[in-house]
Structure 1
């Protein structure tokens, strides 16, 4: 806590010394790995980033034969985004599932990377925050070559804000309905006169009483960093971030619905008592070094360590009491989750000419070691049911006192990952590029007290790009991913060990960067096949009481996505994204289900998802007006209940005041009642937020 207070107060004092400085619209600068500097004007090219590091090296998206998107801090600011759930509507093929989890091209996925490394400090049921994030990079489809084991839907990489050589300060005061109030401050710049050492210091505080009964949220972030120019073209960056989330009457479940997806009571209903809570305390520390070696070689290496503790006491809904249509049965859970992880990565990129062709050769390796300990005790007997129509809560914490008499069940899980990759990108001509890469991974998973499982796998990625002109890229690619089977399924009695679940994707598309970047339109079509999903084989007798498993399950996901980012005029910018997805079970044992599937459909996987955001600025009055919206088609929950389609709209006004900037925003303008996603019949659907108002007063200088 002391670090957070110091960061916040120090940054605020630096900012307020110039609180009445006149704001001047100037181009923003962005430094990416490899030392490349990108200058982006505020009026045009507002939400675009011309370089991404999602492929482990700074690269033009047109030269990557796979769909990707980059969401930058300008869009965060204009949309008032606070956490990851606020930006999903901007990403085609991605929709909300639960907490930090998403549906990604039809598959459930909850992995996140930070600056290309594993080590997500938002464990369990907390959602990544965006205060200290420069941009979010999304690589769609299997990403095994660069990131190792993971879902075939894609990966999300959070790129941290880093110290800048230019002095800049920012102070933001926040207010809104539901008693929302907050303040944040950031400062960056050189420490010495030559700019060899630079710093960044930031602090964030926000509190509110959300619409669900009994809830209260407090979030604090302290973030600091120092960058040291070690040599010409080389930089060492040291960063430390502390997070503290205090969520009362949380962790939230949903609200019960009927089979058609209609809520059975007010969406404010909450199974949690006022004394329930979720506390997250976490820290992340990392060091990254990047340098250019001559004109043709770049090298970077990073190490990241995080430690997080999530403590929660909450009432879990268990469906209706037998014979009742109003009383919801509950159990009380007391859990402490401790997770720590250490990650290391290194990447080398070299450009060279061989046989008259330019080669961009990339090689790298990464290593990760994680310990996750869950202490859990569950009180099932004697927990008072809660009425849907007239919930009566208590502040006695009686269930917590009774649960304290129970012993904890301890589950100590260990995860180890290490891998290395090699990729060659060959420019046959100025218009034709070939890409080929291979990666080897070895992993070890297990629960202390049980058998540990070790295995390895090889993944490939190939692609071809044709550029009929320098600002148009037509591509095809094949990429792979894999996921280790759960350690509990690898026992000899169950028929194990088993090879990992695999994912193979064929993708083709077109990317454009027309009219000097003022129009970026992308199209991608894909087909993903996921195999080796374990299922019980009813033709074989159990061994020592365990069903015999076989890697029989198969799922096929196919669809297409369209992304458009354009400056309609010098003052009018628009973003539009659309995704179509059809994910079905294509191989299974009759009568058996596959995880997250209902029949032949997958939970919370919409066939259609549309999002848009458009912003028009009026220089004469120093104001900008924006409106956005999202449409998500019908889905099913994990229990097969319908999840209704919805359409919501948002709007904002940003007004320059000379000494500051004021942003007014309203979400869900028409106060639509809808389900953001479905979960189970016992715990209901997750309701979307009702109409909310947000005001920000921003001082930047």
Structure 2
């Protein structure tokens, strides 16, 4: 066990406490005037909305417009839901995000498309976690998902949507919190947070947060330690200007964890704790992030928002990767796995600048701005392949972890640098055409340039640049108090990589991937606002997807189509009982599917049906609540890397349970995840790398103190 002493603080529970006290004080029988009665009615029956749904999201339109005026589906995971589910990292929240299915590490499928680079922090690109490290939630206030292409607002990105993490900022009121969490498998975490005014008029404010954790795993040879330091300073330079500075440091020591091999029906070929890694394998991830934001109001109709973000990440990974299944005794059953040892160093650097103006001109809200995105990825890999280079095979049933890494014959496999520069300008008009009709029109142009340098094979050095255009046109209509329909057409683009251009079969440059979504939906507020349902139908077409053949040459395949519908419901079942339910149906198809492993990968890990539930019942007399969660994910396929048919990934249903009690300034909480200790596969790679194994039963006990 890598022991680590921890002190901790966690987010502010102000909104939750206010909401709970409001629930207890409401008197439905109050008849003293219509205005007073209506006010109390809203406080009572809006509980589910106040707990588990935000009312506005600047991320969707870069304005303070309400969600009801946004003609595209956006979903907000609030701080209350993060806390109720004891979510330590983003994977803990996927069940509450409709249209999102797990792929691997922190990468997901959104509305059928792999979502990796379209990740934002406070509306700005610059994701330090990249491919193999899962985003942590200690310094996160909200998680927002904008569904479908977001090119008109944010430029190049994946077709399925974008995820935005809203970070915690210094507060005007003093808030201090100390938290300790214990769990099975050696889990221990501690945090401390303090935020509030520095001077008497609160024109200067601070935030200090420190989080540390350590844990083991149900998988062999897996441990993880985390350290997070989060600092913030806000200064009201004048009555019209605010400068906010933030610094965050993440340090994680863990393992790059692959799956467990499966057969064509998705059955595990060995016990699910099996791991191809040796005990000394590890993944050391460290990053430093600096962010500065300046908001200024020129007058009562014109304001500006500018953000600078910089990060530098080093990721050193030393691990044994499963390579091929072997039947050593020719009995028709695989009993060993060949392996490859990889020593990988990745250094990521990112610089992002974003600046825009918002003009409130009567019925028109105009947004105009520009942003710059730079991302650098420097990779150096050493490989030792198989027994001939000293890497022993590993038994599937009785593994012996005793390899001598110092005796491996490792050779340089990759030494390359990729640098991406992207500049975009955009404009948007939100026109409130009538009291009921709001029209949104936006357009953007991006220029991107990527340089690829291979220090091993100088013939592969190449550069690629292009220009792309994106638009969004949509409308919302306030039909009445109960129904608010919306519709939109949005487009997006993803530039091809310079390395793919180098491998083109005919030497011609590939056009960027282009995506277009048509969406129609309705937001409804029913049963005196006790039931809020967002239902959306969507159809996405993506063109110019590039695939590689067996010789490594690339060519463009045809169109990929994703269509389906999502339903997100928040309801007050009774004055004490609330529920949050998300359901998604999705169907993904691709042209030229025969004998094409890339198309198999596109279709993989997309369940037709997916359901998430979180429901909470309160006991005001004892200041307590109990919560229950469930998640169902339907049958999927793996993302095979051969030209054979993909394997099946079996469906699963798991359940969670939570108890929460408040006493004076303390909050005590127990969470049981995977209540019945089910063995299941979260997602699939292929028959060799196997299926990603879902967490077995985890129990967490939390004590949190506000002071």
TM-score over 0.5 for the pair: yes
Superposed displacement of residue 476, structure 1: 1.2
Match of 1:565 in 2: 570
Aligned residue number for residue 613 of structure 1: 614
Deviations 1:399-431 (A, max 9, x none): 25535x634631111111110111111111011
Offset at 1:150?
0.9
Aligned-partner Cα distance in 2 for 1:339–1:537 = 29
Aligned mates of 2:324, 2:263 — CA distance in 1:
12
1:116 is matched with 123
Give the Cα–Cα distance (whole angstroms) in 2 for the partners of residues 457 and 228 of structure 1. Answer: 38
Q: 1:483 to 1:177 in 2, by over 3 A?
A: same
| Inter-partner Cα distance in structure 2 for 1:265 and 1:692 | 22
1:163/1:388 Cα in 2 relative to 1: closer, same or farther (>3 Å)?
Answer: same
Counterpart in the other structure of 2:93: 87
CA shift for structure 1 position 398: 1.8
**Matches for 1:247-646 after TM superposition, within 5 Å:** 247=254, 250-321=255-326, 323=328, 325-353=334-362, 358-380=363-385, 381-394=389-402, 398-400=404-406, 402-403=408-409, 406-407=411-412, 409-449=414-454, 450-469=461-480, 472-491=483-502, 494-513=506-525, 518-534=530-546, 547=553, 550-585=555-590, 587-588=591-592, 591-593=594-596, 595=598, 597=600, 602-639=603-640, 640-646=646-652
The answer for the alignment partner of 2:190 in structure 1 is: 183
Structure 1 portions without partners, runs of 5+: 16-21, 30-38, 539-544
Separation of aligned partners in 2, 1:493 and 1:635: 32
Change (3 A) 1:24 1:61: closer
Match status 1:675 vs 2:681: yes
Between the aligned partners of 1:458 and 1:559, the Cα distance in structure 2 is 26
TM-score (norm 1): 0.90
Q: CA deviation at 1:472?
A: 3.3
Moved beyond 4 Å, runs of 4+ = 39-44, 513-518, 535-538
TM-score by length of 2: 0.89
Query: Following the alignment from structure 2 to structure 1, what is the Cα–Cα distance between the partners of residues 52 and 15?
Result: 20
Instruction: Give the Å deviation of 1:493.
Output: 6.1
Question: 1:146: Cα distance to partner?
Answer: 1.3
Give 1:321 deviation, angstroms: 2.3
Q: Deviations over 1:641-675 (max 9, x none)?
A: 11000000001000123341110010111111100
CA displacement 1:231-260 (0-9 Å, x = unmatched): 22431100000000011xx21100011110
**Distance in structure 1 (CA, Å) of the matches to 2:306 and 2:486:** 30
Q: Which residue of 2 aligns with 1:18?
A: none
Matches within 5 A, 1:11-22: none
Q: Aligned pair count?
A: 659
**Structure-2 separation of matches of 1:295 and 1:568:** 42
Q: Deviations over 1:237-295 (max 9, x none)?
A: 00000000011xx2110001111001111111111000100010001100001133322
CA separation of 1:478/1:329 partners in 2, compared to 1, >3 Å: closer, same or farther? same
Structure 2 CA distance for partners of 1:630 and 1:575, relative to 1, 3 Å: same
| CA pair 627-423 structure 1, distance change in 2 beyond 3 A | same
**Partner Cα distance (2:143, 2:213) in 1:** 22
- Pick one of 92, 108, 111 that aligns with 1:105: 111
Q: Label 1:483 to 1:594 Cα distance change in 2 as closer, same or farther (>3 A).
A: farther
Cα distance in 2 between the residues matched to 1:132 and 1:576: 26
Deviations, residues 611-669 of structure 1 (Å, cap 9, x unaligned):
01000110101110000110000000012111000000001000123341110010111
Q: 1:691 aligns with which of 685, 690, 697?
A: 697
How far 1:471 sits from its partner (Å)?
Answer: 5.8
Alignment partners' CA distance in 2, 1:641 and 1:109: 22
Distance 2:665 2:161 in 1: 43
Separation in structure 1 between the aligned mates of residue 43 and residue 449 of structure 2, nearest angstrom = 44
State the Cα RMSD in Å: 2.5
Q: Do the aligned partners of residues 546 and 576 (structure 1) sit closer, same or farther apart at CA in structure 2, a change above 3 Å counting?
A: closer
Q: Which residue of 1 aligns with 2:38?
A: none
The superposition leaves residues 422-465 of structure 1 with CA deviations (integer Å, 9 ceiling, x where unpaired) of 11111110111111111000001121251110101111110122
Cα deviation, residue 514, structure 1: 5.3
Distance change (3 Å), C-alpha of 1:560 and 1:259: same
Distance between the aligned counterparts of 1:200 and 1:435, measured in 2? Answer: 36
The 1:27–1:226 alpha-carbon spacing in structure 2 relative to 1, beyond 3 Å, is farther
Shift of 1:536: 7.2
**Structure 2: distance between partners of 1:263 and 1:27:** 46
